[in-house]
Structure 1
Amino acid sequence: MNKQQIAEILAKPYARQLLDGPEPARFAYDGLDGDPRVVPIGFWVEGDQILIATVPKAAKVAALRKNPKVALTIDTGAFPPKALLLRGTAELSTVPGVPEGYLVAGHKVMTDEQYPAWEAGVKGLYDEMVVITITLTWAKLLDFETTIPKAVEDLIKQKSAS
């Protein structure tokens, strides 16, 4: 899949709702022991990249240095479900303090009243953070209105041909 195809998917209204909304991403990577991991995590978007910030000593940091391939899903629990499926490669960089994007991502899930205390807390806690920048290599939007999983699409075609 090329960058233009990924950009077209990310520009779709349901994809934008998922990228800009309060739902966390489910972030998948291989742990150092080779077993898969999936964690819910806040994120922000810059252009065609997804960014996450974490503690420098987080297990995912060491694992991503060994194997930078990742996958993310951002979805809703409503019906019909909406899911944005993403794959990519992670690059890590250590930055001083708390990245602005981390603060924006955090604000998506709390009220304006909660935010000041949370912001002060994280700024007091983190002297530095690791920013995980994910360059996307594949994307698919399942909105169950205009797009559905390929296997379901194939089954529908098979049944309607019978």
Structure 2
Amino acid sequence: MSTAQGDVSLLNDPVAQEMLTAAVPARLAYTWLDGTPRVVPVWFHWDGTAIVLGTPPRAPKLKALAARPEVAVTIDSNSYPYHVLSLRGRATVEMLDDLSSEYAAAAERYFGAEQGRAWADQLRGQPMARIRIVPDWVAILDFEHRLPSALSA
């Protein structure tokens, strides 16, 4: 029997592991200050427990996350059969005096080692906000064994 959608143990599934290490942006969904939904593409790093994002300390989303920390994240592939990892959790924000190690690791994953280090080096010494999202709900679609509920009914 397969693990039910929503169970955080799905993070151990090969599809989840593939998406957590993919060089594709995640999409962060959160609620704006006026109550409307927002979705933004973001670089991310999976630290084994949480999705970790880096952002400038003056990023407008930080005020929204302080007011309503409940978020959703999706990471999906670009070719069929589509692989989709969806997470829900609460965002916590920590203000740093320098570039976060997770942001530097993400830069290397997205750009490759040399270009990623160069990108991170130009940001060193500048403040950054670290956003951590520990999943409390997880779902996977792989369009092979796990289909959207409307297609599998």
1:40 alignment counterpart: 41
| Structure 1 equivalent of residue 7 of structure 2 | 5
* Structure 1 residues 14-33: aligned runs within 5 Å: 14-33=15-34
Decide which structure has greater helix share. Answer: 1
Please name the residue that 2:3 is paired with: none
Using the size of structure 2 for normalisation, the TM-score is 0.90
CA distance in 1, matches of 2:66, 2:93: 8
**Partner SS for 1:130:** strand
Question: Which 5+ residue runs of structure 2 have no aligned equivalent?
Answer: 1-5
Partner of residue 51, structure 1 = 52
Partners of 1:47 and 1:62 in 2: how far apart?
27
Corresponding letter in the other structure for 1:5: D
SS of the residue 1:109 aligns to: helix
Task: Give the distance between the partners of 2:44 and 2:18, measured in 1 at CA.
Answer: 14
Aligned partner of 1:107 in structure 2 is: 108
Matched, 1:90 2:114: no
- Note if 1:131 corresponds to 2:151: no
Q: 2:90 corresponds to which letter in structure 1?
A: T
1:116 aligns with 2:103: no
Name the residue aligned to 1:73: 74
Distance 1:153 1:135 in 2: 29
Look up the SS of the partner of 1:114 in the other structure: helix
**Counterpart in 2 of 1:64?**
65
Q: What 5-or-longer segments of structure 1 have no aligned partner? A: 155-162
CA RMSD of aligned residues (A): 1.5
Name the CA distance, whole Å, in 2 between partners of 1:115 and 1:71: 26
Q: Distance in 1 between matches of 2:7 and 2:73?
A: 17
Larger radius of gyration: 1
- Provide the aligned length of Structure 1 versus Structure 2: 148
Per the TM alignment, residue 32 of structure 1 is displaced from its structure 2 partner at its CA by: 1.2
Return the TM-score normalized by structure 1. Answer: 0.86
Work out the percentage of aligned pairs sharing the same amino acid: 37
| Deviation of the 1:151 alpha carbon | 1.8
Q: Report if aligned partners of 2:109, 2:116 keep a CA contact under 8 Å in 1.
A: no
